[in-house]
Chain A
Amino acid sequence: MILAGVLLLFALILPALPLGSWQPFALDTAQFAFLLSGLALSWDLLARTGQLSLAHGAFFGLGAYTAALAAPALGTLPALLAGGVVAAAGSFLLGLATLRLHGMYFAIATLAFSEVMRTFVLKAGFTGGSIGMIVAPPFDGRFPLGGYYLAVTVLGLCVLTSYLVSRSRLSYAMAAIRQGEAVARVLGVPVVRVKLVAFLLSSALAGLAGGVYGMKTLFLSPYDAFSLGRAVEALVIPIFGGLYTTTGPLVGGLLLVGLETWLRLRIGEGYLVVYGVLLILAILFLPRGLVGWFSRRRGGRHA
């Protein structure tokens, strides 16, 4: 948590650092890293109940499109909130039908959900279809750093939620469900309700991050906003960094997005191959992620 505080402080003063001509690039990369770390934290929140979501790319995209469509009428902040609400509403409908079922059904349904959301946005008229749509910058472009600080705020919100949830009674219910649903139910944990709450929180945060992302790129297309790549990043980052922790996704996000930015410049399309390989390696050799690895080397203190 101290680390998270230091990072947030650093994020706040980053625009004031004398970076010369590197500054725009550094700020852009940092903004992207903050948003993806936020997305990863939101994914981790749901993973704590043992559910594998492959739909976080879709919630991200839902938030992005909703915020972009609502911003001219509502203004920036209410539009972002609307993005979070719509993403949560989507997760509510999906969760009602699938959260009662065994974990693998949930994973399959979320994967299908994200594919269908893309099809829907491609076919629907008001989204610009496959051509994409132009997004207005936040606050009508009055503050050049507005988007950056929005990203910092979203990340702060995700960190805070993740931390508070891990300190609350809810975290015990989540761990119980993850480790054995039947046992949890016998112990009196309202399994479906806890899962649904985690899903709602998680998707709302993902939607918020998506909204800020749209206002950062100033352009949305279904292939970008709803790409499977987002869903992959959302889950590889926490697994690589350390599942069920706040520090893990945060550290993993900053590291991996740095790597990703470099790879995109080098090899362009296909950079996701690294995420696939990292995911396999992390599952096989680093089950508790970077955070778990470090804390074990420091003498087994739990991170």
Chain B
Amino acid sequence: MEILLQTLINGLLAAGVYALVASGLALAVGVVGIVNFAHGEFLMIGAFVSYFLFTAQGLDPLISLGAAALAAFAVGAISYYGLIRPVLAAPELNQMLLTFGLSIALQNLALLLFGADTRVVSPPYQGSTVSLLGLSFGLVPFASFVLSVALLSGLYWFLGRTRLGFAVRAVAQNRLAPGLLGIETQRVYLLAFGLSAALAGVAGVMLSVMLYASPTIGFAYTLKAFAIIVMAGLGNLRGVIPAAVVLAMAEAFVSTYVPGGGGWVEAVFFLVIFVSLTYRSWRFR
């Protein structure tokens, strides 16, 4: 019973970061209409920012969050201006190939610059635990979860309550009409893509403490984020949170209850993608 409860909590805590990464990807897909294979690389940038600020300046990851978000936003905005904008009207195949190329380039650039080692950010509180209702869990995963929830609430507030948020949603619904109504479509795209990258960058900081920073860390999260948004329906922001919970719970259960489950966790997201797609292909025949 206690193991079950612990598994449920582990799953729920992991869902926070998943939802953060996947919401960013859902913004890129839903608003800009770009299937961004380089999303995880923005996360990787955030993780490395956190690592280098910590080792060089001794900055706490909590402070690095802002720097990582800015750095990822900048890289996202530059990528949008230089690479995405020219192919917005191109066939979908070209768009996907372009972001895939960006992902490969960034990942291997990091490999060239920093090497393949995994680097952990270990602030003094890394190992501390929190006890709540007789259950104990790590402080860092718990704090990351709370932070993720706060950031996602902020995102929903922005999209649901502010004028700029309305503009973002308008552009997501129709590519032409908002421009005719005086919304600067290009700026909204830029904002959405930068925001998408920033969300991934923040998640990267959390992962640099919970897991590690490495050139290939982003890739696994690109795949998991895709699994989540495929389950939610591409570009559907609302479905992301329940989908993230489902994926994280499934992974937690596999790692606890499947014998030798550690390695199989990496296969769960595929099952999720496959089941969602098969379901869709039978429903929309």
Task: Tell me the A residues contacting B by CB distance below 8 Å.
Answer: 47, 50, 52, 54, 97-98, 100-101, 103-105, 107-109, 111-113, 115-116, 119-120, 122-123, 228, 232, 235-236, 239, 267, 269-273, 275-280, 283-284, 287
Contact = CB atoms under 8 A, between A and B. Distances in A.
Contacts of B223: 111-112, 115
Contacts, number: 127
Residue in A50, A112, A123, A232 whose Cβ sees the most chain B Cβ within 10 Å: A112
Interface in B37-75: 37
Interface residues of B, number: 47
B104 A123 contact: no
Given A100-B281, A101-B277, A272-B108, A112 B234 contact: no
A116 B270 contact: yes
Contact of B104 (A47, A109, A276): A276
A104 B100 contact: no
Contact of A116 (B93, B116, B267, B278): B267
Contact of B273 (A54, A103, A112): A112
Contact of A276 (B91, B96, B106): B106
Contact of A280 (B83, B274, B284): B83
Interface in B257-285: 260, 263-264, 266-267, 269-270, 273-274, 277-278, 280-281, 284-285
A85 B98 CA distance: 32
Interface string B79-119: 00001001100111110111011111111110110001000
Nearest to B102: A280
A270 B94 contact: no
Given A52-B96, A109-B277, A115-B270, A267 B112 contact: yes
B213 to A, nearest CB: 16
Given A97-B277, A277-B105, A120 B98 contact: no
Given A97-B274, A111-B223, A273-B112, 4 more contacts: A101-B281, A104-B35, A276-B103, A280-B101
Interface of B: 35, 37, 83, 86-87, 90-94, 96-98, 100-109, 111-112, 116, 219, 223, 226-227, 230, 234, 260, 263-264, 266-267, 269-270, 273-274, 277-278, 280-281, 284-285
Contacts of A272: 104, 107-108
Contact of B93 (A50, A111, A267): A50
Contacts of A54: 100
Contact of B264 (A47, A123, A275): A123
B245 to A, nearest CB: 20
Nearest to B94: A283
A224 to B, nearest CB: 15
A68 B35 CA distance: 37
A287 B281 contact: no
B33 to A, nearest CB: 10
A180 to B, nearest CB: 10
12 contacts: A47-B93, A54-B100, A98-B277, A104-B234, A111-B223, A235-B100, A269-B111, A269-B116, A275-B104, A276-B109, A283-B90, A287-B94
